[in-house]
């Protein structure tokens, strides 16, 4: 199934008969379910190991268009103060002005600007990532995990993917030199997204 794709001229000419009815049925507005979604990061620490963390509080929406997948879009807002690496002192440092400065810049956001189907159930979504009032482009490779109706009757879709960024591009430059060479925190950070979204009920006319 392809949500985020572009049709070539031959596909456009036969679009009406090529549309997958199951895919078209998923067209609509979706709300990201924070209880069943994870937005996380991985960063190298002291040159020898990885530290992993999550942003516990986040919200967002998806617009899926099964008949015109390129018209699909995504929006996500993350509460910086909800960062959790499993160590209170480290989380406090991340919230401080050395890193995210959560008091001054409480949110991180992503707004998609384009999308493309790159093969099978893999998609590439490009958009604007804003951290500390710095906005730069970000491309995320996503896998569509499928759709299902849960035990409460909610229609769900799932996506997962990741992207590598340089934190210095967003002004996150704090570091400390190691006696053995290198630095305490790597510039490269892997962002990971595991998204479950619930379809909104159509509004009454």
Q: State pLDDT tens for residues 33-60.
A: 999 999 999 999 988 899 999 999 999 9
DSSP percent split of the chain into helix, strand, coil, nearest 5:
15, 50, 35
| Per-residue model confidence as pLDDT tens digits over 91-106 | 999 999 999 999 999 9
- pLDDT at position 22 is 66
How many CB atoms are located within 10 Å of the residue 125 CB?
24
pLDDT in tens, 143-193: 989 999 999 999 999 999 999 999 999 999 999 999 888 999 999 999 999
Cβ atoms of 75 and 90 closer than 8 Å: no
Residue at token pair 């879709």 = 157
Strand partners, 148: 156
- Contacts with 4 (C-beta within 8 Å, 6 or more apart), sequence order: 69, 70, 72, 115, 116, 117, 123, 124, 125, 142
Q: Are 64 and 20 in contact (CB under 8 A)?
A: no
Phi-psi region of 106 (alpha: psi -120 to 50; beta: other; left: phi over 0): alpha
pLDDT digit string, tens, across residues 132-152: 999 999 999 999 899 999 999
Q: In terms of Cα–Cα distance, which of 143, 115, 111 is closest to 130?
A: 111
CB atoms within 10 A of CB 100: 23
What would the two tokens of residue 205 be? 């006319």
């Amino acid at each position: 199934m392809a949500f985020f794709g572009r049709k070539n001229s031959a596909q456009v000419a036969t679009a009406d008969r090529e549309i997958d009815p199951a895919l078209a049925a998923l067209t609509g507005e979706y709300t990201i379910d924070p209880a069943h979604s994870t937005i996380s990061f991985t960063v190298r620490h002291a040159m020898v190991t990885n530290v992993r963390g999550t942003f516990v509080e986040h919200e967002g929406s998806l617009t899926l268009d099964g008949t015109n997948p390129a018209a699909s879009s995504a929006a996500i807002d993350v509460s910086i103060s909800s960062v959790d690496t499993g160590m209170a002192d480290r989380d406090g440092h991340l919230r401080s002005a050395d890193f995210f400065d959560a008091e001054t810049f409480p949110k991180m956001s992503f707004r998609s600007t384009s999308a493309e189907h790159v093969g099978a159930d893999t998609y590439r979504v490009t958009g604007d990532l804003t951290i500390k009032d710095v906005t730069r482009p970000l491309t995320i490779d996503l896998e569509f995990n499928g759709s299902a109706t849960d035990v409460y009757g909610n229609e769900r879709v799932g996506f997962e993917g990741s992207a590598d960024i340089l934190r210095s591009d967003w002004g996150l430059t704090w570091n400390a030199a190691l006696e053995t060479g290198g630095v305490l925190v790597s510039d490269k950070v892997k962002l990971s997204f595991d998204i479950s979204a619930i379809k909104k009920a159509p509004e009454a006319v």
